[in-house]
Each structure stands twice: as structure tokens, then as C-alpha cells.
């Protein structure tokens, strides 16, 4: 993974690229009237990188923070930002549950193997926040269903619930006029299942919704680069190809052969991964 870098993506949008151990991308949208932070990061140290970057640019610090979903690496830094949280109603329900969790190493180790929700992330939590560990789960002040629009002065954020296999509460944020789509982890596979998977039932409507945004810049939660419209279209076409061939019910080798026959090119690493995860999700309800 590349070094974390703070950069400007468009007129109003700043981006902090992902970092170790599992820090997701963060963004800040700076309007004439106020600034909005997109996602609250994995820790205070993580979000300070973004806040320091904004200070150096001489722009206003966030007045609100929008959460894309409830996973720890997107919420643990909320207190440090000290800007009220805006979240989807399902994210708020998760945050209420997380408040009662014990985050000590002992408690994390006990949950390993018992609670699918945390299994994958325990090592990363230990690395991001060594003991003695203090985790403050901040509750949102504003909760919405469906969608919500924020007008920051000369720039707006359209926050839309999209769901998906990764997290049912996932929202994306579309920034206009910058044509930036902040995806969070919405387009990723499941993480809290023994085998990662995609279901056509959830992925197909999600892809259609995302294609409806006429964006020029696509920011993914754990992607090292901001994607162009062309790169995003290529990604979706690989997913669509994998979904089409996985639906034929063949084994992995035959499915990959079908992908090659249909597209005329040897499946790359991404397509192989999508084929595997879509086969894994074929029988999931």
C-alpha cells in the first residue's frame, strides 16, 4: 500500500488516501459556508492527518461528519473530529449496539470465532489502537432514511442509501458540481462471512444505482487511487461479466473459461476474484 497522502481531487474536495493497517480513504468537502467530512476514520491519529491537511490549506474544519456505514475503521475517529454525525438509520442502530462493546484485547479475543461481526478486524484494531485502548463510539445527531442533501455554499452533497453485500447500511455521497462520487465500501464483497461473496440480487441494483451518477471521480474506501469515469466503467464491466457467467452454475474453471469466451480476453486478477466471490454467493439468500 502506498504512503497516505493528502491531496485535492477537485475544486471543493480533499482526499486522504488509505493507509495501514486498514485505514480507509477519507474526504472533506469544503463549501463557502461550511465543510463536511466524509467518514470518521479508524482512530484519532488517522483523522488528525486529514484535519492537519485542511489546516495547512487554510480552509474551515468540518462542521458535520457523514458516515458511509458502521464498520469500525470508518467510525472510531469521530470524537476527534468533534463535528456532529449524520448517519443512515441502520448505521445509527449499529452505533447504539457498539456503545456497549468492550474493546480490550481480552474481549476482542473472546469475540474471535463467536462474533462474525468482528472476526476479520481484530488484528487491525490492535495495530491501529494498541492497549490501553480507549474507543469512543459517538452517536449521530442527524439520522435519515433514503437520502439527504447538504448545501455547503457553492457545492452540495447528495447522500444516498444504497445497501449492498458489504454492509446493508451503506450510503454513497455525490458531490456537485465537482462530480465526485464517494463510495465508502459500498461496492465491496461481504467481510463478515467465512467466505467473501457477492450476490447478484444485491449487486445488480447497486451497480445500476451507481451508474446513474454522472461522476468524473470515484473514491473507494480502500482504493489507492481515485478512479476516473473510464476506470470505474471498466471495474463495473468486469463485475457484470463475472455475474453473468457465475449465473450459469458451472465450477470455477468452467466459469473462467466462459468469461474468456464471452469477453474474448483472458480473465485478469480482478475478474478472477469477482468470479470466485460471485460463485460463493450463488446460493446465498
What whole-number distance in Å separates Cα of residue 112 and Cα of residue 192?
A: 12
Print the binding letters for residues 60-99 with Zn ion: x by CB under 5 A, - otherwise.
-----------x----------------------------
CB nearer to Zn ion: give 69 or 217: 69
Q: Which stretch binds Zn ion (CB under 5 A): 41-49, 91-99, 103-111, 178-186?
A: 178-186
- Least gap, CB of 166 to Zn ion (angstroms): 6
CB nearer to Zn ion: give 219 or 256: 219
- Least gap, CB of 81 to Zn ion (angstroms): 18
How many residues of this chain bind Zn ion (CB under 5 A)?
2
List the 156-161 sheet strands across, edge first. Answer: 147-151, 156-161, 171-176, 180-184, 217-220, 227-228
- What ranges make up the beta strands (E) of 31-151? 35-38, 62-66, 85-88, 142-144, 147-151
Strand-pairing partners, residue 37, are 28, 65
- Least gap, CB of 73 to Zn ion (angstroms): 7
How remote is the C-alpha of 222 from its chain's centroid?
Answer: 7
- Least gap, CB of 15 to Zn ion (angstroms): 18
* 3-state percent helix, strand, coil for the chain, nearest multiple of 5: 35, 20, 45
- Least gap, CB of 260 to Zn ion (angstroms): 31
CB nearer to Zn ion: give 222 or 240: 222
Q: Is 217 in the site for Zn ion (CB under 5 A)?
A: no
Q: Is 220 in the site for Zn ion (CB under 5 A)?
A: no
What whole-number distance in Å separates Cα of residue 280 and Cα of residue 248?
A: 13
CB nearer to Zn ion: give 23 or 71: 71
Q: Which stretch binds Zn ion (CB under 5 A): 37-45, 182-190, 196-204, 239-247?
A: 182-190
C-alpha cell belonging to residue 76: 472510531
The answer to whether the beta carbons of residues 17 and 234 sit under 8 Å apart is no
CB nearer to Zn ion: give 165 or 178: 165
Helix or strand or coil: residue 63?
strand
C-alpha cell belonging to residue 46: 488517522
CB nearer to Zn ion: give 12 or 71: 71
C-alpha cell belonging to residue 268: 485478469
What whole-number distance in Å separates Cα of residue 71 and Cα of residue 165?
A: 13
Q: Which stretch binds Zn ion (CB under 5 A): 29-37, 111-119, 134-142, 180-188?
A: 180-188
Query: Cell match 458540481: residue?
Result: 177
- Least gap, CB of 103 to Zn ion (angstroms): 17
Q: Is 185 in the site for Zn ion (CB under 5 A)?
A: yes
CB nearer to Zn ion: give 8 or 97: 97
Residues of the shown chain interacting with Zn ion in the complex, contacts defined by CB under 5 A: 71, 185
Amino acid at each position: 500500500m502506498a504512503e497516505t497522502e493528502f491531496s485535492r481531487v477537485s475544486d471543493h474536495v480533499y482526499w486522504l488516501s488509505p493507509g495501514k493497517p486498514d485505514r480507509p480513504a477519507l474526504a472533506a468537502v469544503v463549501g463557502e459556508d461550511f465543510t463536511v467530512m466524509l467518514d470518521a476514520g479508524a482512530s484519532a491519529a488517522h483523522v488528525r492527518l486529514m484535519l492537519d491537511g485542511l489546516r495547512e490549506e487554510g480552509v474551515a474544519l468540518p462542521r458535520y461528519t457523514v458516515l458511509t456505514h458502521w464498520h469500525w475503521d470508518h467510525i472510531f475517529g469521530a470524537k476527534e473530529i468533534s463535528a456532529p454525525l449524520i448517519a443512515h438509520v441502520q448505521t445509527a442502530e449499529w452505533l447504539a449496539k457498539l456503545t456497549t462493546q468492550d474493546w480490550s484485547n481480552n474481549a476482542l479475543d473472546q469475540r474471535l470465532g463467536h462474533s462474525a461481526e468482528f472476526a476479520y478486524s481484530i488484528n487491525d484494531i490492535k495495530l491501529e489502537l494498541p492497549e490501553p485502548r480507549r474507543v469512543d463510539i459517538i452517536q449521530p445527531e442527524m439520522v435519515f432514511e433514503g437520502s439527504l442533501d447538504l448545501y455547503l455554499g457553492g457545492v452540495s452533497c447528495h447522500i444516498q442509501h444504497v445497501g449492498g453485500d458489504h454492509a446493508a447500511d451503506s450510503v454513497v455521497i455525490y458531490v456537485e458540481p465537482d462530480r465526485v462520487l464517494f463510495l465508502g465500501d459500498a461496492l465491496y464483497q461481504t467481510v463478515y462471512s467465512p467466505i467473501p461473496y457477492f450476490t447478484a440480487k444485491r449487486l445488480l441494483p447497486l451497480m445500476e444505482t451507481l451508474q446513474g451518477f454522472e461522476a468524473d471521480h470515484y473514491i473507494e474506501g480502500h482504493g489507492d487511487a481515485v478512479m476516473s469515469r473510464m476506470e470505474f466503467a471498466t471495474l463495473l464491466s468486469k463485475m457484470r461479466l463475472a455475474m453473468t457467467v457465475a449465473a450459469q452454475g458451472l465450477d470455477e474453471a468452467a466459469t473462467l473459461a466462459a468469461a474468456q469466451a464471452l469477453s474474448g480476453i483472458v480473465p485478469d486478477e480482478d475478474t478472477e476474484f469477482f468470479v470466485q466471490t460471485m460463485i460463493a454467493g450463488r446460493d446465498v439468500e
